[in-house]
Amino acid sequence: MKRIGILGDIGSGKSYVAKSFGYPVFNADKEVGKIYKEDKKVFIKLKKILPKYIYSYPINKDEITKAILANKSNLKKIIKVIHFKVRKKMNFFLRRNKNKKIIILDIPLLLENKINKKNDILIFIEADKKNILKKLKKRKNFNLKLFYKFKKIQLSLDYKKKKSNFIIKNDFKKVTISNYVNIILKEIIK
């Protein structure tokens, strides 16, 4: 099985590109959303460590946002609880798809959390910062302060780009992404 890791800035189109490959995708952000909605144990842990902020189940993302914005250390506390669960779900995904030719890892902190393996194929999604911000501002619940908090815990885009085997220049047009994906698949499947 070949593992493809998708890297790039917040809002650069990583999830869209990941789905465009047509292979099983592990989307860490979606998994986090499911954990907040469905995992009572996570709620209990978060409520215990952040009682001022976390009080409703399923966990309300506004509560998470308020906790993160209130105190720098709260993000680390949340990450510690959530990432353990996400990693378990990723390992289950990998076992379930072990016979697939290719799997896609859409994990925002792939390199930061050392989830990538030596032979992973890394693809960096490059997009114009103005387009990214314009796109992000259309998202429900977009918070610029939160955006910058998450940017601070990420490795630099230049570093991620250097580590990548391929670069996709995302102009947010389907045909462009489709062309890049076809070229990359031809290259890695040979």
What pLDDT is attached to residue 72?
Answer: 83
CATH architecture, range 1-24+100-190: 3-Layer(aba) Sandwich (3.40)
Average pLDDT over residues 7-31: 97
Q: In what order do the strands lie in the sheet with 166-170?
A: 25-27, 102-106, 2-8, 121-127, 166-170
pLDDT at 62 over 80: yes
Residue type, 120: D
pLDDT band of residue 140 (cuts 50, 70, 90) is confident
Q: Give me 27's structure tokens.
A: 């989307």
The pLDDT, as a whole number, for residue 4 is 98
Residue 179's pLDDT band (boundaries 50, 70, 90)?
Answer: very high
The answer to whether residue 190 scores a pLDDT higher than 80 is: no
**DSSP of the chain, one letter per residue?**
-EEEEEEE-TTSSHHHHHHHT-S-EEEHHHHHHHHHHH-HHHHHHHHHH-TTT---SSPPHHHHHHHHHH-HHHHHHHHHHHHHHHHHHHHHHHHHTTTSSEEEEE-TTTTTTT---TTPEEEEEEE-HHHHHHHHHTSTT--HHHHHHHHHTSPPHHHHHHH-SEEEEE-S-HHHHHHHHHHHHHHHH-
